[in-house]
Amino acid sequence: MDFKINTVHFTPDEKLVNFIQDKVKKLEIIYDNIIAGEIYLKIDKNESHDNKVAEVKLLLPGNELFAKKQCNSFEEAADSAVQALKKQVEKHKNKVS
Domains contained in the chain, number: 1
Cα 21 to Cα 5, 18, 81, 85, 91: the distances in Å are: 9, 5, 13, 14, 22
**CATH number, domain with residue 77:** 3.30.160.100
pTM for this model (two decimals): 0.91
Tens digit of each residue's pLDDT (9 = 90 or more) over 10-62: 999 999 999 999 999 999 999 999 999 999 999 988 777 789 999 999 999 98
Band of pLDDT at residue 78, cut at 50, 70 and 90: very high
Domain boundaries, position 33: 2-96
